[in-house]
Amino acid sequence: MNLILPEAGLNIKIPFGVEPFIEAIAGAVPGSREPLARYMAVCREVSRALSFIGRSGGKPDLAVLLERYPAFVTTAGYTVAEVTAKFGLPEKALQLLYPYWSYMGVPVSRMSFTIFAVMLYSYISKGAYIPRFTSHGLAAAMDARIRELGGETCYNTRVSKILVEGGRVVAVKTESGEQIKARAVVANLSPHLVYGRLVHPREAVPERAARLLNARRVGTSALVVYLGLDAPPEALNLDSYGYFIGPSMDTEQAYANFCRFEPPQMQAVICLNRANPECSPPGTTILSATSLAGPEAWREVRPEQYYDVKNYMAEAMVRQLADYLDATPGHTASPQQRKVGCLFSGPGSI
Ligand SMILES: Cc1cc2nc3c(=O)[nH]c(=O)nc-3n(C[C@H](O)[C@H](O)[C@H](O)COP(=O)(O)OP(=O)(O)OC[C@H]3O[C@@H](n4cnc5c(N)ncnc54)[C@H](O)[C@@H]3O)c2cc1C
């Protein structure tokens, strides 16, 4: 992953592998090696503690937990900001440590350290993988196996009701009116949709499910721009698989910005071709840029404004990306490289 933060004067590759990760940050920020090594050791212990809890079916032996994983017990219940502050890491090192916050979508002052530690450690220690035949290949393989085993799959088939009788699911009804009998329904959707709209009659919604639903706040959603570009990655200054881009790594500021539908302060950009060169025809690039939208952001948007808002945000994100890539040291503007600006701004060229 590349991190580009112009306000902080940072443009750096963040490698996978715990040692290379520490090395890269220590190289950029003198004095950070020792606290960072301690920090990553704590993240590893937290990760292992969760695996232990998982292996014990959620009922771990507390004596073992305390003895083997004291760092987990000590840090559980604290936020990322609270725990990280104890390590005395230089401010600039935090900017290199925090980019993965955007995968969780809450600022470090509110994010559970346990969750962050597990996420950071697994990304850094295990790296990331991309299916050779893309995510679609994965879904298509599952589909083929279901059919092979005598199952059936339907596409473009919206379920409008989950019918309940006598306290038991009996069928699902599709939008076209077809009714499919079922003794059980696995609805892999947001519980707000399942219990708020689909279960019929409404009185059949279990009280506990309704209570849980009402107790939850809607979380952050993603805003993704997918680009199919008619130029190869090397002509677009894209030499890395991933980029975290934004003026700075102030997660509070970025989160507040995500709640207002302003041009985003932070985006994560993926160039699939850099991990999977055959994902698109020669001479083309698949690029996706993801920013977040806090729940408050959508509250003010009326249905008729939906596409305008999305197009406005998409344009701002593409412009930010093009500017930052153009400004990347070592990539300054050969005529061919300049093409990134033209590609992004020219109507019809995306
Ligand atoms: C921008 C972004 C980047 C991500 N990057 C990664 C990554 O790099 N690695 C990773 O592991 N994960 C990543 N994820 C997360 C991953 O995509 C999700 O965890 C995964 O797709 C969840 O799969 P799912 O099948 O549970 O839900 P979904 O993929 O959301 O599937 C739910 C399906 O239900 C359908 N549906 C909804 N209502 C109805 C209805 N009434 N009737 C019938 N069908 C209905 C929807 O159309 C949808 O197809 C990313 C997610 C986002 C948004």
Q: Encode pLDDT of 100-159 as tens digits.
A: 888 888 899 999 999 999 999 999 999 888 898 889 999 999 999 999 999 999 999 999
> Rounded to whole angstroms, how far apart are CA atoms 107 and 275?
29
User: pTM (2 decimals)?
Assistant: 0.81
Tell me how far apart the 2 most distant CA atoms of the chain are, in Å. Answer: 71
What would the two tokens of residue 136 be? 């679609």
Half-sphere exposure of 189 (CA within 13 A, CB side): 14
Ligand 1 binding pocket includes 290 (Cβ within 6 Å): yes
> Rounded to whole angstroms, how far apart are CA atoms 347 and 331?
24
Q: Report the nearest-CA residue for atom 39 of ligand 1.
A: 158
**Closest atom of ligand 1 relative to the 158 alpha carbon:** 42
pLDDT at 332: 41
Lowest-confidence region among 6-15, 17-26, 33-42, 51-60: 6-15
Ligand 1 binding pocket includes 159 (Cβ within 6 Å): yes
- Per the CB < 8 A criterion, the answer to whether 72 and 45 are in contact is yes
Q: Is 181 helix (H, G, I), strand (E, B) or coil?
A: strand
At a CB cut-off of 8 Å and minimum separation 6, what does 75 contact?
42, 46, 83, 113, 114, 117
Find the Cα–Cα–Cα–Cα dihedral 273, 274, 277, 280, rounded to 10°. Answer: 10
pLDDT in tens, 30-43: 999 999 999 999 99
Ligand 1 binding pocket includes 188 (Cβ within 6 Å): yes
Find the Cα–Cα–Cα–Cα dihedral 41, 46, 52, 54, rounded to 10°. Answer: -140
